[in-house]
Each structure stands twice: as structure tokens, then as C-alpha cells.
Copies of this chain bind each other. A is one copy, B any other.
Amino acid sequence: MKQKTFALRGNIFYSTDSKNIKAHEKSYLVISDGKVEGVFETLPEKFSGIEIKDYGEDLIMPGMTDLHVHAPQFPFRGLGMDLELLDWLNTYTFPEEKKYKNLEYAGQVYDAFTEALTASPTTRAVIFSSIHVPATKILMDKLEASGLITYVGKVNMDRNSPEYLTETTEQSLRDTEIFINEAKNYRRTRPILTPRFTPSCSDELMKGLGELKKKYNLPVQSHLSENPSEVEWVRELCPDSKNYADTYDRYGLLDEKTIMAHCVFLKDDEFELMAERKAFIAHCPQSNMNLASGVAPVKRFLLRGINVGLGTDLAAGASLSMFRAVADAVGVSKLRWRFINNEQKPLTFNEAFYMATMGGGKFFGAVGSFLPGYEADVIVMPERNSGVRREHLLERLEQSIYLSDENVKLTAKYVKGEKIF
């Protein structure tokens, strides 16, 4: 679709690499055909006469990419953040994900989720749905209509899960292929293969997903090395694999179109495998704190040149805000420096901002910066300084408190040059 050339004016910020943020006061971001032409302090002659939207003193920056978020967990974010992993899964996650057999419920939640995501600093996201194809299609319909650009995955689970969330291997693969074919009708909403994680996917299922990946040339998202007991469990489940990362890699599920969430406890050979495969790591600082997972060695990822972005990991992260993810990434890196490895410096703000924009954006191509040629995902905000009700009154208190810090009100959002609001 041909778009005209136009400019946004304001205080403009963007990363040029993991260390540097460029800042231009009262400048022009020129966009043409959905791509960045450049940022100019004075509008060049050749652009004279183009439409200029002046945002005054507002901040203009690249839209953020949420590399890891579970849409069906939206209703219970901010709940059970004082539980340990297994209690949290059994109390909230699994019972909630079961509900997405009900399409009316799915529609209600995915409306609220899409609305919140659209209002947030996120312009691109890589999203887990549930095992249910019809509900996943509802989610994709709503995301497509929002104007955001996303990957969405129907989840695969054929073992070690509650009965009501366990598919047979055949059904899981058959449903995935249906899902892939139905996803062809969307422009902005793309399918991604989504084995939940090794403990809930048999070798046969992984093998089948590897074949689907090849057949349809699809990206993959999953979880890797989130917590010590999980790592140990995978070792027991997959005695033939060299390590946890290999349980995906040996079925062709680990390449430059793969996102692995967490990677808190990678062993050296896994670390090198992630680098060689050019796979992406979704660092989820708030989730890793809330579930007592630990703190991933993000500085080391950056120094080694591993692709790394940030994820909110809703609802293990209570906040859908990528601004919180930026602040939390810096915060937990301080505790890592203090407690785990004082030879790895904490993250800088610039590094965290880079991961939230350019780092994660790279999964979508030239996304997350205002360097010339980048796709024009833009958020505008003033300087300065969830939708399904709980039965239980105490939960309503807890949730209200956890969610009350998420009310940033953006002035405008553009995705690939198209104005969303």
C-alpha cells in the first residue's frame, strides 16, 4: 500500500546500537511508504510541502517489541505473584487456559488484551495463545484489526500437563496445520510454531513441528532454561539430548527465526549454540523475579552478540508495559551483579532501551530504530514525567494494586507508517 511522505515533529530518540541513543530536540522524523527517511533538525528542501504533524514537547521514539507474552493469561495478571512456580501454574495458569474452549470468554478477554496492548508502548509482539485453534483465530482477528504487527502461536502440549490441556500428538500436529492454513488470510498477524516447552512436548511432537517448520518456513517460539528444577527435569526427560537447547535444535527448531524465552541458566555449550544459530532470547526480567527463576546473564548475551530483546511474559510479569520491562531489566541486573557475578557490569539504561526497541525489533526485520530504511513504528508520549472481573474480593484488591502503575497514556502510535491512534 502506497503511503504519502509525512513528518512527525517533537523530541526524537532512537538507538543506533546497544550502547548509543540518539536524541534530537524539536526535530523531524520523515516517513515515506511506511519507512523512515531520516531524522532532521531542519526539514530538508526536498521535503518542503509534506504534511507535518507537530507533537510539540512530546517524546517520539520507536515502538517497542514485546518478544514474549501469553495472551490467555491476561485476566489474572497481578495475581499470585507471591506464589512459587508450580502453585502459580496450578492455581492460575492452567485453569485459566482451559477456559479458552469457550469462544465467548475468549472473545471477551482478547478484546481487552488487544485494547491494552494497543494502548501500551508495544507496536510488535510475539504471542502465545492456548492450545485451542478457534480461540486463537479470534485473537488473531482482533490483533489484525488493531493495526499492530504480531506473531501468534497456537500452543502445543502432549504430555505432563493437566488432562484438560493435553492433546494427542496427532491432534496437536493436525490442529497446528489447520491453524497455519487459516493464518494465511491475515496481513499483519503471522503464525508461529509454539511448543510450550520441552517438558510438555514429546519427541514425536517436536519432530512433527520440525517438519511443519520446514514445510511452511515458519518461525518458532518456546521457553528455555527458566529455572533450575525445570532444567533438571528436562535432563531426565531427554537423556539423549546434549542439553536443554538441543531438545529443540535436534528437530530443527532452533535458528534465526526462533525465540527462546528466559535462558536464565544456559550452560556454556547452549550459550554458544544460541549464538551460532542466531536465535533470539526474550529476556523477561519481571517474570524471572516474580517466579523466583533468577536473573539471566543479559550482559553476556549482548557482549557475545546474541540476539536479545525484552518480554513482559504476561502474566508471570504482572505488567504489560514495555517501559516497566526496560526499568526492570536494569533493576534485576543490579542484583545479578551483587549476588551472582560482580565481574559482569549491570545493564545500562541504553542497553535496556535498545533491547526493547532495536534488539527485539530485529526479529521482525529492520524494526525498532529511526535509522533510514527502518519500518516506521513510532510512539509519541507526553513528557514527564485488564478486563475480566475476579470473584474473590481479596484478589480484586491485589490485582488493583499490581495494575495501578500501568496507566501511561500515549499521544499517538504508528505501525509501519500507519496511524493507529
Residues on A facing B (Cβ under 8 Å)? 11, 13, 21, 23, 25, 59, 61, 78, 81-82, 84, 286, 289-295, 318-319, 321, 323-324, 326-327, 330-332, 334-335, 337-340, 346-349, 352-353, 381, 383-387, 393-394, 396-409
Residues of chain B lying within 8 A (CB to CB) of residue A13 = 393-394, 397
Chain B: CB-nearest residue to A387? B385
> Given A82-B346, A332-B335, A385-B403, A393–B286 Cβ distance below 8 Å?
no
Cα(A349)–Cα(B408), bound, Å: 25
A294–B339 touching, CB < 8 Å: yes
* B397 contacts A23, C-beta separation under 8 Å: yes
Q: How far is the CA of A226 from the CA of B341 in the complex (A)?
A: 19
Smallest CB gap from A403: residue in B: B385
What number of copies of this chain does the assembly contain?
2
State A400–B406 Cα separation when bound (angstroms).
13
- B404 touching A23 by the CB < 8 A rule? no
Query: How long is the Cα–Cα vector from A82 to B19 in the complex, in angstroms?
Result: 13
Please tell me which one of the listed residues B338, B340, B348, B397 contacts residue A293 in the complex, with CB atoms under 8 A apart. Answer: B338
- CA A339 to CA B342, docked complex, whole Å: 14
Interface SS of chain A: helix, strand, loop or mixed? Answer: mixed
> Is there an interface contact between B405 and A383, defined as CB atoms closer than 8 Å?
no
Q: Separation in Å of the A232 CB from the closest CB of chain B?
A: 15
Task: List B contacts of A337 (CB < 8 A).
Answer: 292
The listed residue (B78, B327, B404) touching A381 by CB distance below 8 A is B404
A328 to B16, CA, bound (A): 32
- Additional A-B contact list (15), CB under 8 Å, known A291-B334, A381-B400, A384-B399: A11-B396, A81-B349, A82-B330, A289-B335, A292-B338, A319-B405, A326-B401, A335-B339, A339-B339, A349-B398, A381-B404, A385-B399, A385-B403, A405-B406, A407-B407
